[in-house]
Copies of this chain bind each other. A is one copy, B any other.
Amino acid sequence: MPETAGKPKRINDPQGMRSRILDVAADLFQRRGYNSTSVQDVVQAALATGGAVHHHFPTKKALGLAVIEERVAKEVNATAIQPVLQAIRVKTGILAFFASVADELERNQAVTGCPLNNLAMELSLADPDFRHAANAIFENWRGALTQRLQAGGSGLASKPAGELATTVVAAYSGAMAMAKASQSAQPLRDCAAQLEKLLP
């Protein structure tokens, strides 16, 4: 045979494949939910095969756990925790976070909600492993806010700082739930306006 009929030749890229599967799964779980997404959906959207997905994630649960621990946790840290920690004032950081999420929601067509909240709600009761993974992210977030609220000149005492951190996280999660149901960013803005009165 002449050299014209060259086969596509496979190139192994384990890390890239794994990462692509995780990205696609995180996106589908976020948009359709865990239970409404089949591994076949993931296989097709990732342009992978059943064998490849099974090689990296033996079960759907393993895939779900990896999405939570490697994608959702990272996103929460990048969008919710770091900006607040690095802001000059806690209050401005938190309000900016709410505003930026609201802005982003209004840019997109659909409000798909908070990935952490989505998966936590759907899977917390189904499986303890999922629940612990989701809870760890909530706790990490809450802890970072608590510390930040206690630090600095206008630092709060331990108890109110913890309560306030919980309230900020809860208001955000709940506002996202309402935003998802109403397909509007208004709940985010309303909560931010009220949190402003509460934050030091």
A residues apposed to B, CB below 8 Å? 31-33, 35-36, 110, 112-113, 117-118, 120-122, 124-126, 131, 134-135, 138-139, 142, 160, 162-164, 166-167, 169-175, 177-178, 180-183, 186-187, 190-191, 193-195, 197-198
Contact = CB atoms under 8 A, between A and B. Distances in A.
Contacts of A138: 178, 181-182
B170 A177 contact: yes
A52 to B, nearest CB: 26
A98 B113 CA distance: 24
B178 A170 contact: yes
Contact of A198 (B32, B124, B197): B197
B180 A175 contact: no
A117 B191 contact: no
Contacts of A182: 135, 138-139
Contacts of A139: 182
Nearest to A139: B182
Nearest to A117: B177
Nearest to A183: B131
A170 B198 contact: no
